[in-house]
Amino acid sequence: ESNNLALKGIAFANRHKGNHIIVSSIEHDCILNSCKWLSKQGFNITCLPVDSDGLIDVDELKNTINRDTILVSIMHANNEIGTIEPIEGIGNICSEHGIYFHTDACQSFGKVKIDVQQQNIDLLTINAHKIYGPKGVGALFIRKGVKIEPWQHGGGHEFGLRSATENIPGIVGLARAAQLCDEELESETARLTQLREKIIVNVLQNIPQAYVNGHRAQRLCNNVNFGFQGYEGEGIRLLLLLDDLGIAVSAGSACSANDAENKPSHVLSAIGHNPVEARGALRLSLGRYNTEQEVDYFLEVLPSVFRNLRPLSSLSLGG
């Protein structure tokens, strides 16, 4: 809801200035689908490509801006591959050109330091359940002076920007969760980074077919995303075998888990993978309650589970 309000609200409040919006090709579906809808309303959308690590090129962003550009929306960190984008550089470019900059920080909030002043962020999206707060509540930071059109009308709640009775318990839960994350940011980030690196190093050493999706270092402390060369067609079976052993992992974004068409991940496709590879990822998300003993257990059982898989060459099936 916050991402919808940011994009549509900025678009309609500023269409007298221009109709051009820039996003990246690896944004969350709520950004990309909002852009599809806005394109039907007469807005011009540019979807920037990313490199093989999932990073946008800030020079390409600068060259894409034109006199009709009113908004740039680039996520802080990707939900599938964990890559952290250079948002301070993006914010500086937008500030220099007098363009609003929005970032979807749902994945990074509570894991990466954010300074909306230093990074020139005009709008920033967060949610509660990513930081152990209640589900069904989020927030949109809007810098004072930003012109945004309300998308939901009613009794004028939230300073007229989002009418509807406020979810007070949810808001309190979000605030408390954010406070706890801020207090523990440094220590918890260091702990999760150590566990993440232990997983990556061990898996790459013990399974020659494994490779990492996303930037090797410039990534979220809690995110690991693997592909297995030649075994991409066994992705779901690998998930089920691990599930039988009490290990919960995923093949991609939870938000697309109900996709009946089983489409390849648009994120993995954007970083250069073929359709088979883009379906065969293994994503691990670490959290506050994960222990090193659990990581050791995963690393102990993964090689034996992997030996039960049947190789299937992605080269013969990829497009």
Query: Residues 182-231: pLDDT tens digits?
Result: 999 999 999 999 999 999 999 999 999 999 999 999 999 999 999 999 99
Q: What's the pLDDT score for residue 295?
A: 98
List Cα–Cα distances, 19 to 4, 151, 200, in angstroms.
16, 18, 43
Percent of residues, the chain, with pLDDT higher than 70: 94
Residue 303 phi, psi dihedral angles, 5° rounding: -60, -40
**Rounded to whole angstroms, how far apart are CA atoms 128 and 9?**
22
- What digits encode the pLDDT tens for the residues 113-131? 999 999 999 999 999 999 9
47 is catalytic: no
**Rounded to whole angstroms, how far apart are CA atoms 304 and 306?**
5
Res 150 pLDDT > 50: yes
Res 53 pLDDT > 50: yes
Q: Global pTM?
A: 0.92
Mean pLDDT of the chain: 93
**252 burial type by CB count under 10 A (0-12 exposed, 13-18 middle, 19+ buried):** buried
Given the residues 30, 35, 47, 255, the one annotated as active site: 255
